[in-house]
Structures are given as structure tokens and as C-alpha cells.
Amino acid sequence: MSPQHAADERDDLRPDGPKSLNHASGQSLVLGLESSCDETAAAVLRGDGTILAEAVLSQEAEHARFGGVVPEIAARAHLAALPAMVARVMARAGIGFDALAAVAATAGPGLIGGLIVGAGLGKGIAIARGLPYLAINHLEGHALTARIPGIVASGAPVFPYLLLLLSGGHCQCVAVEGVGRYRRLGTTLDDAVGEAFDKAAKILGLPWPGGPHLERLAASGDARRVALPRPLLGRDGCDFSWSGLKTAVAQRVAKGDAAASDIAASFQAAVAAVLADRAAHALAMLPGATALVVAGGVAANGAVRAALSGVAASRGVALVAPPIRLCTDNAVMIAWAGIERLNRGLVDTLGHAPRPRWPLEELRGAPGQ
């Protein structure tokens, strides 16, 4: 989690006329805002992918006692934190709002209250400075993060590539064919994989959010001591199902005949095996894939990364995994998605309304890319 930087509460917004900028230039600067769930984030990126400043504020403490994210609390926290965070990030980047080429804000999918806060602030800055506004799909942010120049050692993947999106709200295999051009190859039939981690952790008596706690507990366990199912393993296609695995964890805990660490280790091993199997099937469905890209909070799990690395190697493609801090929700990915879309002339109107549900397949891309 990126620390917040020294405060600069100065608000220097003022009306300004429309700008004439070379939006394709690597020197163009984009401000990104993220507020789709329980992380408040802002970042400034240059067109060549250089991160000038970034900040993320977790709301974990506000939601932990409820065992999950409370939408009303999340929206109020975004409203309280985001304006001052933007001022601090701009100050740390060493620029004024006049230097921006555009403002990009998450406009969906996510919790509607938080989306309204972030999109509203982004539109306000765009209006005040006469800037282009970019309504960013949160999932496209994850899909394009690996393309930030220099962010991964293997180099930015070229289209098309396979995206395995693994988070608390999503579990999908997606063919990424270009900016704004996506085909969903498979998805979960019930829980998202991050949700399954959190539910299994809760059953084991671990704090929320459960994924990191379960991974730490699993490190001291032996997966071979507890047999758990591997849902849809070996089946055609690349859909997922996690509810049966979660139920099996509850049943083993209720029996009381196995150590919690062994159950955690077996659960993690089952998830990693299923993800590897589904990714292999998805790669077979996308024979021209140049890489396997993994993104979302669950992509930070070491066992999952190791399993997917083996699949990628066996298929002769690179596994591309962004740094862990960019796997979870952040504004760097929103600013970069904004840069990718701005460079293709995919600017949005100020009338673009936030969407709590917004499938990737409904995005528009530039013709002929």
C-alpha cells in the first residue's frame, strides 16, 4: 500500500479555457482517480508511463468490524479523503492543474456512491480547467496495467493477450485484443475467487480481509493432510466455480479433525490448481496470445503466481504480473488506461454516468487498432 504523502491543502482550481495539446505525446500528464470500492487513490502519470506521484488510502479499519465493505461508509470516506489527496499528489508531482492533458476517473463497475464521488470530482476538475474527461472502466484499468512501460521485467505485452482477472468481485478469463476490445472467454458461476478466499478465511476464524491472512496461515500448513475438491478441474472451457470448495472448507472445520493451517494450505492449493487449469484451457481458446497477464488482488498470492507461471511456461508464453501494489485497486492503472484511451481519441462527455455494472465487452475501442 503506497503511503500518503505530505499534505498540501492548497486548492488552486480556477476556470480556464480549452487547451490545445498533443495528446499522443509521451510528455502529456494525466491525473487518475480511483474510488470504486474501499480504496481511495490518486495518481499522476506522464504519457510515457512514468509515475510522477501516487497515493492510496485503505479503508480497511472502517469496514473490518463489519466483516466486509459497507457501501455508505465507503462513499463518505471517499468524499472526505479524495479532494485533499488530489492536492497532495499534484504537489508531490510538482505540477499545477494547468499542466494536465486530461483527467481520468473510475466510472464503473463498483459501488455507486464511491463512483459518483470520484467521477464527480474528475468532471469538476475537467470543467474548471477545460480538460478532456475520461470515464474509465475499472476492469480495463486492471487489463492494461501490464502495458505500462517498464512496469514488468518481461516488457509490456502486445495485443492480443490473455487476462486472468482475479479479485474480490471478479473472476474472468478475457481475451484482450486492443484498448476497448475485449472478449470474455470464461467467468465464475458463483463466487469470485477473492470472495472465496475471504469466506474461507472467515470460516477459519481469520480477520477480514481474509486473503492475506489465509496465505500466511497456509505457509505453516501441509495441503496433503486435507483433501478438498478442485471444482471444474479438467472440464471444457474456462469457467470457474468456488462455492463447493468453500462449503468443503466449512465441513472440514466443523468436523474438527484437521489443523486450521492444513485446511488453509489445502484450500490455497486447490484454488491455485483450478486457476492454472482454467488458464491453460483459456490459452488453448486464444492460440495467438502473446502473454498470460494476471491482475486483481488475488494476483498477489504467491501460490497462485507460481501455478500460473508453470502454465505460461508450458504454453511458451510469458506470465506478466504487475507489482503487487498495482494488483490491488489503485489510481496508477486508472491514469494509464486514460493515457491509452486519450492517445486513441477515446474521450468521454461530461454526461457519462457512473455504472455499478459495466462489462468489459460493452466498451468502445478505436477503429482499426
Q: Which residues are annotated as a binding site?
A: 138, 142, 165-169, 198, 211, 215, 301, 329
Q: At what angle do helices 260-285 and 243-255 cross, to 10 degrees?
A: 170
Residues 104, 134 contacting (CB under 8 angstroms): yes
Residue ranges for the binding site for substrate?
165-169, 198, 211, 215, 301
For 81, 282, 332, the CA distances from 344, given in Å and listed in that order, are: 32, 28, 19
Sign of the alpha-carbon torsion through 364, 143, 191, 276: positive
User: How many alpha carbons lie under 13 Å from residue 45 in its C-beta half-sphere?
Assistant: 28
Rounded to whole angstroms, the Cα distance separating 151 from 356 reads: 29
| Rounded Cα–Cα distance for residues 253 and 217 (Å) | 15
Distances (CA, A) of 250 to 50, 218, 264, 298: 46, 16, 11, 21
Cα end-to-end distance, the chain, whole Å: 35
Return binding residues for Fe cation: 138, 142, 329
Cell matching residue 179:
484498448
Contacts of 310 (CB under 8 A, 6+ apart): 276
How far is the C-alpha of 225 from the C-alpha of 242, rounded, in Å?
A: 21
Closest residue by Cα to residue 136 from 348, 322, 369, 357: 348
361: Cα separation from own chain's centroid:
17
Q: Which residues contact 87 (CB under 8 A, 6 or more apart)?
A: 7, 8, 9, 10, 11
In the numeric block, which cell numbers belong to residue 3?
503511503
Match 489503485 to its residue by C-alpha cell.
330
Among 134, 63, 45, residue whose Cα is nearest residue 347 = 134
